[in-house]
Chains A and B, each alone.
Chain A
């Protein structure tokens, strides 16, 4: 772990009736770290992520995000994080510029700041000529790159990315990871979920959730070494389905 923790989770439990969705989660994420949050469908990732974003409260346990408490300081958390998902991120019936202004406003930036940031962002993405195009007219790859830039328009300490590259072509997927690397290099902490196991290899550290618990956590290299396999995909399958599954 690098420097101080910007996410710290200690004995997090979340129960829905008799069902335990998050079962004693303990982990920390450091500043500027790229943290891959992996797990099978239904393992409890979304539940944990909602708690970290201040959208849902734990049943018990201590959780701090950007130094703020998830029980009492959710408004502070929301102002200090960015969020992007594959399913929903930009408003399709608004233009590129309108989306940037909308999100800038939601994140509480001043008009002056929004103007500066819009110009900066459009030029970095080389999208000036598209600023008045509706989002729905843009190819998916462009939308996803724009969505990521909008999610960090307020320079948050942390950004949460929920399957940001699903269905995107292989080249755009890599351009997207370039942007992630760059943001992490600037000190933004990246918390990302993905079903592409090759992307797990790009993370500084990953955790793998199985049935509500963190079954493994560490650097990709350490996890592969300790399970004696050559890819994160194999580690994932061993944990989620048992060791015999790999040799089938």
Chain B
């Protein structure tokens, strides 16, 4: 059996004048969760539509489960489960009817592959007679996942399954993906939430149609070589403005409770910055050395201008 679920080589796609994908190359191994991490408009949906055989590539090659996405698309469709970013089930059918409908399309029944969806489906079963359009955001995503799984695909392609979904449902959704992976499923998933990257075996950071880096999440963060300091005080707006005056700051960005300051090489000692802030009149700032996270790396790779706005 082919040990790679997806092989993409120099894939490009252009719409009118907009270059949606530019020379994209990456591979997804069998049985792994591969995360395509990037904001709206980065090209994730175009890429996933091509891999799901719903759109033709402009140039380059894509092979999914050992099958070319253009030449053998019919054969491939039976073996992949695709969950589009926009809710695409039938809102006027009930939960149960949607599930039966999708099973029938693939020549199976919900009973035949029930073991695959059981853990997820029991959570929405109390609402099995409710119309899909009347479900909450998290419930809709669970139903959509069931429908994408019902024909027992070898590869799941999930386009932003957690966008607009609250933090609890997001956590539950990832727990389900990890379980599916343990069952041997290969999963290609996209997300704009950088914190979800840590759940993946490998990730690609994508921005404006180009892949910035492909690696395991810990490799991405380990490659961040500049000193990073976290600063906190109880006057964040003033602190932010004063930090931007620090001559050794490469970049100053709010990150939740702490403001992250990327310092110039050789200026990563908290003490110097601490004295600078005391001089500026901050009574009790806290400065600590931080390990970079995926979001730090992403912004740095984007070439973040340091004094935005």
Contacts and interface: CB of A to CB of B under 8 A. Distances in A.
A41 to B, nearest CB: 4
A41 B138 contact: yes
A103 interface: no
Contacts of B309: 175, 178-179
- With most chain A CB atoms within 10 A of its CB, the pick from B137, B165, B169, B309 is B309
B40 to A, nearest CB: 4
Interface size class of B (residues with CB under 8 A): 35 or more
Contacts of B254: 174, 177, 202
Interface of B: 38-42, 136-138, 160, 163-171, 192-194, 207, 236-237, 240, 253-257, 295, 298-299, 302, 304, 308-309
B257 A166 contact: no
A126 to B, nearest CB: 9
A39 interface: yes
Nearest to B238: A185
B163 A166 contact: yes
A245 to B, nearest CB: 8
Nearest to B160: A167
Given A195-B164, A237-B167, 16 more contacts: A40-B138, A42-B137, A163-B164, A166-B164, A169-B38, A169-B207, A171-B308, A175-B308, A175-B309, A195-B170, A196-B193, A197-B256, A221-B257, A231-B257, A232-B256, A233-B167
A40 B164 CA distance: 10
A25 to B, nearest CB: 19
15 contacts: A40-B166, A167-B163, A169-B39, A170-B39, A170-B299, A170-B302, A171-B304, A178-B308, A178-B309, A181-B236, A198-B255, A201-B256, A221-B257, A233-B167, A236-B168
B253 A41 contact: no
Given A169-B39, A174-B253, A177-B254, A195 B167 contact: yes
Contacts of B257: 201, 220-221, 231
A199 B38 CA distance: 18
A14 to B, nearest CB: 17
Interface residues of A, number: 41
B302 A171 contact: yes
A170 B256 CA distance: 12
Contact of A41 (B40, B42, B165, B299): B165
Nearest to A220: B257
A198 B230 CA distance: 14
A133 interface: no
A220 B295 CA distance: 21
